[in-house]
Amino acid sequence: MERATLLFFLLLSSIAKAQNGNGSNMIISVHVGLILDTGTLVGKMSQTSISMAINDFYAANSNYTTRLILHTEDGKEDAIGATSADFLHVHAAFKLLIDVGVQAIIGPQKSSQAVFISDLGNKTRVPIVSFSATSPSISPARAAYFVRTAFNDSSQVNAIAAIIKAFGWRRVTLVYEDTDYGTGIVPYLIDALQEIDAHVHHRSVIPLSVTDDQILGELYKLQTMQTRVFIVHMAPFLGTNFFLKANEAGMMTKGYVWIITDGLTNLLNSFDQSILDSMQGLLGVRPYVPKTRKLDELTIRWKRKFRQEHPDIEKAELSIFALWAYDTVWALAMAAEKVGITNSTFLQPQTTNNSGILDMLEFSETGPGLLKAILDTKFDGLSGELCLIDGQSQSPTFQIINVIGKGERVIGFWTPAHGISRTPNPISRTYSTSMINLSIIFWPGESTIVPKGWEIPTSEKKLKIGVPVKAEFHEFVKVERNPLTNATTMSGYCIDVFDAVMQALPYAIPYEYVPFENAAGDTAVTNHIWVRQNYDAVAGDVTIIANRSLYVDFTLPYTESGVVMIVPVKEDARKNAWIFLKPLTVDLWLATLAFFFFTGFVVWVVEHRINEEFRGHTSKQLGTIFYFAFSTLVFGHREKLESNLSKIVLIIWVFVVLILTSSYTASLTSMLTVEQLQPTVTGIKQLIKNGDYVGYQRGSFVKELLMQLHFDESKLRDLGSSDEYAEALSKGSHNNGVSAIFHEIPYVKSFLADHCSRYTMVGPAYKTAGFGFVFPKGSPLVPDVSRAVLNVTQGDKMVEIERKWIGYENTCQNQDMTLGSHSLNFNNFGGLFLTTGITSTSALLIFLAIFIYKNQDELKTMGSGYSIWTRVVVWSKYWDKKDLTSSTFKRDVPIGGSSYVGDSLVHRANMRASINADGSQSPISISEHSDLSIFLPYEGMTSQELGSPSIETQDTQASTEIY
């Protein structure tokens, strides 16, 4: 009995625990709508991924209290057509919101469908989460409840632009489908191309209802255009058919460039081989998905399940759309668990009689919280990190692929931070668009040579080269009409240069000249004519200026650039009187005089003790110094030098004088030849200050330049031909003429070729870009023509053309660009003066060193006990005496001894005796002392001391050594 009772209580306890457990693990269903087009490959792939995502998520998170319950609505676009499918998708969304009461909707698949369904989401406050509606035409910024877990199409435009820039293509043709998906990317792509100075030459819009014949017709039309770079943005169904027809039309051959967006690139691995054969050589971009072990495992399971569900599809690979669908389910499941939805209550809105159908829809009470949870979700998914910013995934790393053979090959990567690189995570920190960062590319036609991006169609007419007709300066452009045949012929400097440039191109281009002018017969060289692109190019005297470059493209200039003044010249006799001083500047004159004196002084110091020609009275010696120094100008110095030091100084100095005199003569000759004619005006400040009238070419941009230089517009006069220039300048500003004419250098050279004797060119030159050839904006010919311009202008052909039409350099050899000072300055001869200065100073120091060394005992004895100044005076007196030991004076000493020495000793003794007798000096003794100050060292010695043999012997030896 007790045992039965115990079993009964145990049974009751187990039942109670089971009931408690069931209550705590109650599963909350979160109803989610799913709108797909299962008739499309993307729809089928996504459906498989979503079902696997549901199972995988809750298998990994079995403790979650929420479960997503999917309610699928199928559009079946392949059966009912695109327009009907869009309507059916909107109807499916109404059904899911009203009948089922879903808390969120995954989908729709296409951007055109998302536009309508996102409006429903905003009204009902139900999040619309799309993994494949990538068009920028629909964005979370416009629809708050629209969430995009895929990448916006605009995120790939910079990657495409980087490819265009890497290969230097300037013009492209856009080919896209006429849907929200197709047109949404176009504005972003155009902006990206303009940032790299490339332009969209043509846009080919393909409707969804297009037939094969219509596609071929559009392709043949594209063949007649020059551009050979095509960017294709289409959905897979239309895109694959388009390339089949492009291959049939012969446009997948050498010379063509095809770039596809990720809408096609993402599914390349799933296309049949026949389609891949028609896409050989094209380039494509697609988001980069990092390889992980989890992704590899899923790929195997996904393929197995997909083949089970769709055995009729032979080739299918896991695409980025399937991965985005998988990650979308995980993100939504995480958000639902985070919010903890307990019910799916919809509230009735307040309406009025004027409210529309959408305004009467009930709105979700839990929608705002679920939306916030979705936007805050962040995790590492199979497609990479899922992080929603502003309601959508951000720009990723893109792969750049090349279709080759049976598949594709990754040739590089693009990232927003680094540009084009060979790896997804490059080490470099700089942005690069270099083609060397890409692997070898096989272009259409199995070519490895980079296409130049354009061709001259063989069936196209000749290029129309517009030539501006002008009534003046026919040296540059001359248009002649035959009155009988009305045929026109073009000639002139600009025409010859253009012909030479066209011949320098590596390929032949047929072209013809077409003159253009307005009804009055004047040139109509204005921007709006070029913008209308009536001509393929313009060849003439057209100046490259900034505002024109906004509408057209210029080649490199082929003429000298700048605007200068033409002014009359006159002789200036007053200046010619002192023109002999102009070859050297003041500092050079002063430096030359200083070195003349210094060189003469050094030679005199060295030669004075040993050379009779450098001795004598003070006035004579000063004259010798100046005469000797200046006589070296004509190399007429007659003094014979004895010292090697002075000879070295003289040799260097004569070389310096030779250079100076030669330069002076050349400069003076040039000035006497050229500068006899002086310009009447030397600068614009003088013109403005005097209020003079100035001229400019009629219709030229120079007028705006003069106004920028602060000329009064009332002082500007427009002129036409060269004869008008000469007449206006000859009259002058005060006689209804002008004081100066501003014009571009090529025109000025042409004018001065006939008038260089009366007028001249005066600077400074105000910078312009020169003449250039004009092409429509983005023309692919510009780079090649610019290179040809360089080749022509740097060769002999340009010299020949200039000599033929202008001939300025031959007829006016003495004219210069600007008349200014050509005086030589000290800096021109700094090295010479430094050399002679060092030589002279070194010679002087060497002489003093030898002199002191040889006479150091006498100098010490003579200077002991005296002040510094007295020592200098005593030593100078000692230096002033002849050096009798030199070869010059040795022949004057008598044989058998020197009476001069004996007399000198007696004279010294008598002098010292008279000085010491009374300790005072008479005026005569003072005079003797003053004149013979070299004897001061013997002061204080007695007459006995003076007469002692030792002293006499010492003095005799010293005298003999010194003299």
Q: What does 309-374 look like in DSSP terms, one character per residue?
A: H-TT-------HHHHHHHHHHHHHHHHHHHHT-----EEPPP--TT--TGGGS-EESSHHHHHHHH
pLDDT at residue 886, rounded to an integer: 64
Residue with tokens 């032949």: 508
Whether the Cβ atoms of residue 500 and residue 784 lie closer than 8 Å to each other: no
Strand pairing of 128-130 and 146-151? parallel
Tokens of 820: 């200014």
The highest-level CATH class for domain 27-149+306-387 is: alpha beta
Whether the Cβ atoms of residue 420 and residue 433 lie closer than 8 Å to each other: yes
Residues contacting 162, CB < 8 A, separation 6+: 196, 414, 419, 420, 433
By three-state DSSP, how is residue 741 classified?
strand
pLDDT at residue 439, rounded to an integer: 92
- Tally Cβ neighbours within 10 Å of residue 229: 23
Strands, E, within 227-322: which ranges? 229-233, 257-260, 283-287
pLDDT at residue 75, rounded to an integer: 66
- Tally Cβ neighbours within 10 Å of residue 250: 11
pLDDT at residue 733, rounded to an integer: 84
Of the options 3.40.50.2300, 3.20.20.70, 3.30.450.40, 3.40.50.2020, the CATH number for the domain spanning 153-292+395-437: 3.40.50.2300
What one-character-per-residue DSSP string does 61-125 give?
-TT-SEEEEEEEEE--HHHH-HHHHHHHHHHHHHIIIIII--SEEE--SSHHHHHHHHHHHHHHT
pLDDT in tens, 157-207: 999 999 999 998 988 999 999 998 999 999 999 999 999 989 898 999 999
By three-state DSSP, how is residue 230 classified?
strand
Residue with tokens 């020592």: 871
Alpha-carbon distance 265 to 283, whole Å? 9
pLDDT at residue 850, rounded to an integer: 80
Q: Fold for domain 575-675? A: Helix Hairpins (1.10.287)
Identify the CA nearest to 466 among candidates 536, 543, 556.
536
Alpha-carbon distance 124 to 101, whole Å? 10
Asked: is 562-571+677-768 a CATH 3.40.190.10 domain? The reply is: yes
27-149+306-387 and 562-571+677-768 share one fold: no
pLDDT at residue 441, rounded to an integer: 94
For residue 678, report the phi and psi dihedrals to the nearest 5 degrees: -110, 140
Residues of the chain with pLDDT under 50: 1-24, 78-81, 519-525, 527-528, 531-532, 810, 814-821, 895-963
What one-character-per-residue DSSP string does 163-224 give?
HHHHTT--EEEEEEESSHHHHHTHHHHHHHHHHTT-EEEEEEEE-TT--HHHHHHHHHHHHT
Q: How far apart are the first and last CA of the chain?
A: 161
Alpha-carbon distance 882 to 963, whole Å? 6
pLDDT at residue 939, rounded to an integer: 39
pLDDT at residue 460, rounded to an integer: 58
Residue positions counted in the chain: 963
Alpha helix segments (H runs only) across 855-867: 856-863
Identify the CA nearest to 495 among candidates 516, 472, 512, 508.
512
Domain ranges of the chain: 27-149+306-387, 153-292+395-437, 461-560+769-816, 562-571+677-768, 575-675, 855-962
Identify the CA nearest to 85 among candidates 178, 168, 187, 208.
208
Asked: is 461-560+769-816 a CATH 3.40.190.10 domain? The reply is: yes
pLDDT at residue 193, rounded to an integer: 94
- State the Cα torsion 175-179-181-185 to the nearest 10°: 50
Instruction: Kindly list the distances between the CA atom of residue 22 and the CA atoms of 25, 342, 860, in Å, as whole numbers in the listed order.
Output: 5, 17, 128
What one-character-per-residue DSSP string does 742-789 give?
EEEHHHHHHHHHHHTTTEEEEEEEEP---B--EEETT-THHHHHHHHH
pLDDT at residue 922, rounded to an integer: 36
